[in-house]
């Protein structure tokens, strides 16, 4: 399978299991409806690659880079993607659905500054110290995720669902929160960003 991966440029309906490409460079490859299972891509550079309808399951992608790579209907499940700068990827200028999603993943220390991620799924994840400044998270599914020390500044959280999320710090005066869903007791943290006096 490794030899095929190295020599072919396009893959359709392939399953890559246990593939290890640590600190490698992958250029201009196209993946359609592929599954990556228990693969290791630590610090790997995916340059100008295309992922459509793909799934990454239990993969290690810490410090991976995706310069000029594009995604469509791609999901990461139970995978580690710490330290990823997602602004390097190629994002659609117009789109109604976010091209990626994360379920039960570790995406801490990652950057999404200024991206349009409408309806993105970041569910039951560890997303500590993630930069969401000026990001469009309209109708995002953020349920059950740990957002400790993550940055929400000028972030559009319209109708976003934070049910069961925890450790978030969101200032209502510098973010859009119309129709966003929060649950007690974590939602009490929203009050600390207001110009009011709380009596405990």
Instruction: Determine the pLDDT at residue 48.
Output: 97
Domain definitions of the chain by residue range: 11-90, 97-195
Q: Which range has the worst mean pLDDT, 9-13, 94-98, 145-149, 186-190?
A: 94-98
Instruction: Determine the pLDDT at residue 6.
Output: 72
Report the C-alpha gap between 6 and 3 in whole angstroms.
Answer: 5
Host H or E run for residue 3: helix 2-7
| pTM score above 0.85 | yes
Please name the fold of domain 11-90.
Pectate Lyase C-like (2.160.20)
Instruction: Determine the pLDDT at residue 173.
Output: 87
Cβ atoms within 10 Å of 13's Cβ, excluding its own: 10
Token code pair at residue 104: 């039960």
User: In angstroms, how far apart are the furthest CA atoms of the chain?
Assistant: 66
In terms of Cβ atoms closer than 10 Å to its own Cβ (0-12, 13-18, 19+), residue 159 is middle
Place of tokens 């009490």: 188
Report the C-alpha gap between 2 and 41 in whole angstroms.
Answer: 13
In terms of Cβ atoms closer than 10 Å to its own Cβ (0-12, 13-18, 19+), residue 96 is exposed
CATH class, domain 97-195, is mainly beta
Report the C-alpha gap between 160 and 117 in whole angstroms.
Answer: 11
- For residue 42, pLDDT over 60 is answered with yes
Instruction: Determine the pLDDT at residue 183.
Output: 87
Sign of the alpha-carbon torsion through 175, 178, 180, 181: positive
The answer to whether the 11-90 and 97-195 domains have the same CATH topology is yes
Reported as a single tens digit per residue, the pLDDT across 51-110 is 999 999 999 999 999 999 999 999 999 999 999 999 999 998 765 668 999 999 999 999
Question: What's the rounded mean pLDDT across residues 108-137?
Answer: 97
Instruction: Determine the pLDDT at residue 1.
Output: 52
Question: Residue 164: is the preceding peptide bond cis (ω within 30°)?
Answer: no
- 145 confidence band (pLDDT: 50, 70, 90): very high
Report the C-alpha gap between 38 and 17 in whole angstroms.
Answer: 6
Report the C-alpha gap between 196 and 92 in whole angstroms.
Answer: 41
Instruction: Determine the pLDDT at residue 180.
Output: 93
| % pLDDT > 70, the chain | 90
Report the C-alpha gap between 35 and 117 in whole angstroms.
Answer: 23
């Amino acid at each position: 399978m490794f030899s095929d991966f190295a020599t072919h440029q396009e893959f359709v309906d392939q399953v890559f299991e246990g593939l290890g490409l640590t600190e490698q460079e992958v250029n201009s490859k196209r993946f359609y409806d592929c599954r990556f299972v228990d693969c290791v891509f630590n610090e790997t550079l995916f340059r100008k690659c295309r992922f459509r309808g793909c799934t990454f399951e239990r993969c290690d992608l810490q410090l991976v880079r995706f310069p000029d790579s594009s995604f469509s209907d791609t999901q990461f499940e139970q995978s580690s993607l710490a330290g990823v700068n997602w602004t390097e990827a190629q994002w659609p200028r117009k789109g109604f659905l976010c091209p990626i999603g994360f379920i039960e993943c570790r995406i801490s220390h990652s950057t999404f500054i200024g991206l349009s991620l409408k309806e993105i799924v970041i569910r039951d994840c560890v997303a500590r110290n993630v930069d969401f400044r000026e990001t469009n998270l309209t109708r995002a599914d953020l349920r059950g995720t740990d957002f400790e020390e993550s940055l929400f500044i000028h972030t559009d959280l319209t109708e976003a669902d934070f049910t069961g999320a925890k450790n978030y710090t969101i200032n209502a005066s510098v973010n859009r929160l119309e129709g966003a869903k929060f649950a007690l007791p974590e939602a009490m943290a929203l009050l600390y960003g207001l110009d009011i006096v709380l009596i405990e």
